[in-house]
């Protein structure tokens, strides 16, 4: 089934002559309308409107409908007469379509799961249809769910939809019962699925007849797992005739996809797993068709059989269903690896790479990006981040771990949120105190800040976030320099002026100091020494006796990357 993505866009215009401007896009209808009203209250001479945007995954387009308008804009043009309530399925036979069956599976999920029944079976077994009919609460609740969802689209009342859907349900149950009565005594007698398929194909390849025959045989299996096993067994016993085999496989595939949409059947496929991460890994391996992969060593034999079928590309509907389940599990709120936060981050990265490699119509890249964006948001939950940084020994490691997360998340909002965590950690009193007075030498801590800057510059954070983080690193570095008096110890060492300048320039050019402030500070101090009387005097003497020292300093100046006049020149003295 196509995935559903609904959001609400709020537009406003300041006056009649102004253009419409998008103010916000929200997922909540009431919040969108409230926001529109507040905008109008701020600008009484303007107008607002709210549109409902529903993404059609099959057509890859957004279907738009206006749900709210207000203001001086002329919204009183002739409007279409209110639409009557309509549904895509006009007859019981329409309910056999994949989308309709998916809707039935969703709205009847508790009842179907409880009785371990696939939606397709309801249309060919009168006993199951009557069992549903006798379950008034479950049936009426399902009708109500669909009616409310349809009415929210704005083309009919809930009452109208309840009436239409109830009527359709009654007609469907009567039709199933009538057709089941007509089939009594007429079901094909065959010892094997191959023989059954050949007989149905010889009688005109009736899709409905084949499905009825499959349903009759599935009635002997009372669990989803057993039904899935039986359907795979059918696929191992197809006719030798290519066309007959293709026909039988297609109908069996439709049933198998129906069955695999339920958790109990899925559990039968993947077997016992220690966590959600292992489950998604096994599903991915099955989807890839890697029956001999190490990840399936501990999986049930069913998993290997299904993977073999997928590799042969003989089960398109079941393959698509497994893709849907993978996407669903990626969006699940549960953690992949509850006891190992670092393993969870790595697993998310590995899965993203594998799934992108096998992306296609069932796993299109946009759906994968959306799913991993959702998963990334889960990784950035406060409890997850707290678990992550608690594994570090010091604030610098905390920031390094946060930056490592950046490699493994997608989505602009998620990147911005992570950058916020990095900035907050850098600004914290604990972090500042550690960098200023922590263990080791000040130069070691300055080098760590420089490494954090470089890692941030390589990130995919927004440029504004990159700049802010780098500035914080630089400012912290300047605080370390001031606190430890590194530069003062160099300039007050009593060493020759050229040696002092060279020491400062080595720091500036050696990749130890954060930029630009720390490097600029060291460079300017070195230039003041070189332009001082002592510096000019030593430079003049060195040019006669030890030109190598001047060459070294000139090279260091070039390494700092700042254009400077020749050492000892008059123009240098002004720096």
Give the model's pLDDT for residue 299. 92
Residue with tokens 């068709």, as numbered in its chain: 289
The pLDDT of residue 567 is above 60: no
Q: What is the pLDDT of residues 322-338, one digit of tens each?
A: 999 999 999 998 999 98
Q: Phi and psi (nearest 5°) for 219?
A: -65, -20
Q: Round to the nearest angstrom and report the end-to-end CA distance of the chain.
A: 71
Residue pLDDT, tens place only, 98-138? 777 888 888 888 888 888 998 889 888 888 888 888 887 78
Q: How far apart are CA 171 and CA 342, in angstroms?
A: 55
Which of 520, 405, 422 minimizes the C-alpha distance to 466?
422
Closest-CA residue to 472 (of 419, 411, 520):
419
pLDDT at residue 154 in the model: 58
Angle at 289 (CA atoms; ends 285, 290), nearest 5 degrees: 60
Separation of alpha carbons 571 and 564, rounded Å: 9
Confidence of residue 22 (pLDDT cuts 50, 70, 90): confident
pLDDT for the residue numbered 7: 79
Q: What are phi and psi of 18, to 5 degrees?
A: -75, 165
In eight-state DSSP terms, residue 566 is P
pLDDT surpassing 80 at residue 35: yes
| pTM value surpassing 0.85 | no
Q: What is the pLDDT of residues 163-175, one digit of tens each?
A: 887 888 888 888 8
Name 55's Cβ contacts closer than 8 Å, sequence gap at least 6: 3, 4, 5, 6, 61, 62, 63
Instruction: Compute the Cα dihedral for 319, 322, 328, 333 and give only its sign.
Output: negative
pLDDT (tens digit per residue) in 505-515: 988 888 899 99
Find the Cα–Cα–Cα–Cα dihedral 376, 377, 383, 388, rounded to 10°: 30
Q: To the nearest 5 percent, what fractions of the chain are helix, strand and coil?
A: 65, 5, 30
pLDDT over 80 at 59, yes or no: no
Query: Region 353-377: what's the mean pLDDT?
Result: 90
**What whole-number distance in Å separates Cα of residue 281 and Cα of residue 415?**
25
Adjacent-strand bridge partners of 25? 9
- Triad 159, 160, 165: Cα angle to 5°: 100
The fraction of the chain above a pLDDT of 90, given in percent, is 42
pLDDT the model gives residue 214: 94
Q: Are 40 and 46 in contact (CB under 8 A)?
A: yes
DSSP states of 65-116: EEEEEEESS---S--PPPPPP--S--SGGGGGSHHHHHHHHHHTHHHHHHHT
CB neighbour burial string for 452-467, b if at least 16 within 10 angstroms, e if fewer: bbebbeebebeeebbe
The answer, yes or no, to whether residue 280 has pLDDT greater than 90, is: yes
The reported pLDDT for the residue numbered 62 is: 59
| Helical (H) or strand (E) element with 523 | helix 517-531
pLDDT at 63 over 80: no
Positive or negative: CA dihedral 478, 451, 516, 471: negative
């Amino acid at each position: 089934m196509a995935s559903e993505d609904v959001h609400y866009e709020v537009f406003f215009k300041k006056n009649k002559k102004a253009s419409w401007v998008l103010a916000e896009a929200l997922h909540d209808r009431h919040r969108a309308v409230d926001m529109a009203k507040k905008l109008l209250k701020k600008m009484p001479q303007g107008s607002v409107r709210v549109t409902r945007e529903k993404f059609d995954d099959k057509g890859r387009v957004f279907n738009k409908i206006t749900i709210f308008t207000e203001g001086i804009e002329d919204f009183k043009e002739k409007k279409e007469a209110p639409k009557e309530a309509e549904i895509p399925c006009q007859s019981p036979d329409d309910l056999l379509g994949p989308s309709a069956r998916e809707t039935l599976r969703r709205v009847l999920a508790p009842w179907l799961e409880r009785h371990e029944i696939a939606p397709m079976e309801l249309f060919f077994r009168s006993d199951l249809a009557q069992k549903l009919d006798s379950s008034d609460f479950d049936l009426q609740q399902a009708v109500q769910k669909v009616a409310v969802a349809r009415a929210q689209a704005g083309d009919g009342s809930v009452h109208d939809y309840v009436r239409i859907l109830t009527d359709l349900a009654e007609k469907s149950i009567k039709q199933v019962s009538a057709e089941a009565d007509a089939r009594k005594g007429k079901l094909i007698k065959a010892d094997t699925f191959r023989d059954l398929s050949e007989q149905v194909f010889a009688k005109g390849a009736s899709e409905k007849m084949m499905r009825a025959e499959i349903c009759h045989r599935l009635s002997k299996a009372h669990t989803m797992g057993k039904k899935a096993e039986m359907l795979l067994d059918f696929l191992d016993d197809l006719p030798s005739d290519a066309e007959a085999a293709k026909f039988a496989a297609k109908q069996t595939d439709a049933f198998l996809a129906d069955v695999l949409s339920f958790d109990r059947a899925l559990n039968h496929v993947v077997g016992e797993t220690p966590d959600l991460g292992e489950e998604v890994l096994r599903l991915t391996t099955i989807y890839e068709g890697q029956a001999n992969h190490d990840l399936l060593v501990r999986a049930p034999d069913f998993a290997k059989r299904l993977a073999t079928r997928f590799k042969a590309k003989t089960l398109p509907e079941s393959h698509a269903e497994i893709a849907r389940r993978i996407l669903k599990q990626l969006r699940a709120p549960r953690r992949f690896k509850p006891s190992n936060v670092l393993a969870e981050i790595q697993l998310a990265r590995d899965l993203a790479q594998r799934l992108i490699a096998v992306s296609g119509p069932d796993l299109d890249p946009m759906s994968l990006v959306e799913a991993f964006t959702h998963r990334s948001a889960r990784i950035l939950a406060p409890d997850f981040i707290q678990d992550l940084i608690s594994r570090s020994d010091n604030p610098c490691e905390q920031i390094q771990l946060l930056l490592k997360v950046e490699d493994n998340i997608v989505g602009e909002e998620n990147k911005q949120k992570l950058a916020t965590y990095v900035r907050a950690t850098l600004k914290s009193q604990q972090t500042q105190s550690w960098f200023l007075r922590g263990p080791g030498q000040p130069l070691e801590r300055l080098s760590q800040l420089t490494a954090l800057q470089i890692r941030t510059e390589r990130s995919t954070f927004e440029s504004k976030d990159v700049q802010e983080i780098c500035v914080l690193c630089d400012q912290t570095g300047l605080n370390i320099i001031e606190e430890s008096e590194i530069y003062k110890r160099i300039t007050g060492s009593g060493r020759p002026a050229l040696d002092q300048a060279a020491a400062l320039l080595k720091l500036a050019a050696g990749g130890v100091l954060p930029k630009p402030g720390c490097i600029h500070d060291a460079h300017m101090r070195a230039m003041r020494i070189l332009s001082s009387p002592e510096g000019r005097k030593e430079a003049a003497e060195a040019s006669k006796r030890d030109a190598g020292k001047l060459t070294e300093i000139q090279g260091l100046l070039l390494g700092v990357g700042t254009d400077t006049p020749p050492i000892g020149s008059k123009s240098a003295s002004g720096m």
